[in-house]
Amino acid sequence: MSTEPQPQSSSPDQDGVLDEERSNLQFMKEQLEGAKKQLKEATTTQGKFDSMTEILALQEGLSLDEARARAREMQEKSFGIAFEDGTVETTHRRVNDASTNSVAGALHAPSPVTAALQAPNVANEDLAPGPVSTPAHESPDQSYPAAALDLHAEALPWLMHDGVCLFRDVEKPFEGFEDDLLSLTVRTDQFSWLRVFSFFPQLNGLSAELLRAYVRHNLCGYTRNQLIDDYLVSTGQHSRHDVPLGFAQITSAKVLQLEKLFPQLASFFAGAGYIGPAHENLVLLDPSCVPILVAAYVASLVDELAEHGFEINDWTIAYAFHPDVYAHTEDGDVTVYEVLEGLDVSLSKVKHWDQHLEFYAENDQIITASRQVKRIVAQLVHLSTAP
């Protein structure tokens, strides 16, 4: 007789259990499909509107028609927003992912930024002609992992210029393109760097070249991590107010502060179409807003220096962009000035109890010692000799 197990007939109880499991499985499948549908609808809601400007206007209680009418009156060019479904919102059109394949394909990666945040950490290397100056009272940029980036061409208005991609996936992504990027600040108004002086009387006696030199210095030191910061903001994935952004390397919190100090700045932004929530981020990523942003920032530095009774000229302002000189006394009465960075600050403090950072260039010795001033001078020389 065979010892193999014989098939057993199913009992009514077993059939009921199987039916219940099938029913539960079908229910779970329907729930999953429903969740996917809701997620898709939630992420494409903004596609119902013609532009980011209209979304901001609608938040103020306007109807869709009123918002569209206002959008048509606003400045012709505006900042683009890239969404997860591969589309880009601008004030004029919704761009399909196919239109950006020429650039995004060349910069192909597993996923935009998301893959970058999952890669191993790497340390920032020193940059020549030096690290980007972080404006006074601003937070330094944070470190991001290294990974390939896949950026939408219109996510930032300066990734493309005259049909040329101004981006390479390297530590200094815009190296060699600094002058091309700087020229974007005058694309809508070639006299913008001069015109901003009429907004701020504090700038009298200073040079427009100083303001441009500050921006070019930022561009020369612009890092891959800063590009990730700007891209995260442009795609709505970043909302921090303490991270310097764009060509000006000013935080959105600082923009809001400057708007309170100088109402003419807020009026300028409103006239350019930047109103409502998040406008402080958008203006930082629009090159045409850079001249007035930097002018307002310098005007605030002038007021700060005047309040403390310090001399105001191109050199004291250049130093105030990024104070970098520490002072201490030796032999009882001799003051020594030197630039210290990183661990050297703490090591020197152990030897010199009275060591302190000179926030203002109150004498020529500080200006002479400062690397920050030397870097600004190098940019001034370049701008004076550039064709």
Confidence of residue 32 (pLDDT cuts 50, 70, 90): low
Say if residue 138's pLDDT is above 60: no
pLDDT at 81 (0 to 100): 40
Q: In what order do the strands lie in the sheet with 88-89?
A: 81-82, 88-89, 94-95
Q: Which residues have a Cβ under 8 Å from the Cβ of 37 and sit 6 or more positions away? A: none
Of residues 194 and 163, the one with the higher pLDDT is: 194
**Span between the terminal Cα atoms of the chain, in Å:** 102
Comparing C-alpha atoms, which of 332, 322, 349, 159 is closest to residue 250?
Answer: 322
pLDDT at 169 (0 to 100): 76
Comparing C-alpha atoms, which of 228, 322, 312, 245 is closest to residue 284?
Answer: 245
Residue extents of the structural domains in the chain: 78-305, 311-385
CA atoms within 13 A on the CB side of 192: 21
**Angle made by CA atoms 226, 231, 233, in degrees to the nearest 5:** 100
Say if residue 147's pLDDT is above 60: no
User: pTM of the full predicted structure?
Assistant: 0.64
For 168, the token pair is 């390479």
252 touches 177 (CB < 8 A): no
Handedness of CA 169, 171, 177, 182 (dihedral sign): positive
Residues 50-78: tens digit of each pLDDT? 444 444 455 455 565 665 566 555 533 34
Say if residue 316's pLDDT is above 80: yes
CA atoms within 13 A on the CB side of 95: 18
Most confident option among 1-5, 106-110, 113-117, 383-387:
383-387
* Alpha carbon distances (Å) from 283 to 70, 199, 245, 287: 18, 17, 10, 8
Say if residue 18's pLDDT is above 60: yes
pLDDT at 43 (0 to 100): 39
Which H or E element spans position 336?
A: strand 334-339
Confidence of residue 10 (pLDDT cuts 50, 70, 90): low
Residues 234-252: tens digit of each pLDDT? 888 777 789 999 999 999 9
**Angle made by CA atoms 196, 222, 371, in degrees to the nearest 5:** 80
pLDDT at 277 (0 to 100): 83
305 touches 316 (CB < 8 A): yes
Say if residue 199's pLDDT is above 70: yes
**C-alpha–C-alpha distance, residues 100 and 152, integer Å:** 6
Phi, psi of 244 (to 5 degrees): -60, 140
Question: How many other β-carbons are positioned within 10 Å of the β-carbon of residue 46?
Answer: 18
**C-alpha–C-alpha distance, residues 355 and 351, integer Å:** 9
Of residues 281 and 167, the one with the higher pLDDT is: 281
What burial class does residue 94 get, using C-beta atoms within 10 Å of its C-beta: 0-12 exposed, 13-18 middle, 19+ buried?
middle
**C-alpha–C-alpha distance, residues 335 and 365, integer Å:** 10
- Residues 269-284 have a mean pLDDT of 90
Say if residue 214's pLDDT is above 50: yes
**C-alpha–C-alpha distance, residues 107 and 80, integer Å:** 19
Of residues 311 and 22, the one with the higher pLDDT is: 311
Q: Where are the alpha helices (DSSP H) in the chain?
A: 12-43, 52-58, 64-73, 101-104, 178-183, 192-195, 208-220, 224-234, 252-261, 263-271, 279-284, 290-307, 314-321, 343-351, 364-369, 371-385
pLDDT at 23 (0 to 100): 72
Residues 330-361: tens digit of each pLDDT? 887 899 999 998 898 899 888 888 999 999 99
pLDDT at 17 (0 to 100): 64
DSSP string, 155-218: TSTTSEETTEE---SSSSTTTT-HHHHHHGGGSS-TTHHHHGGGT-GGGTTS-HHHHHHHHHHH
For 334, the token pair is 């001799």
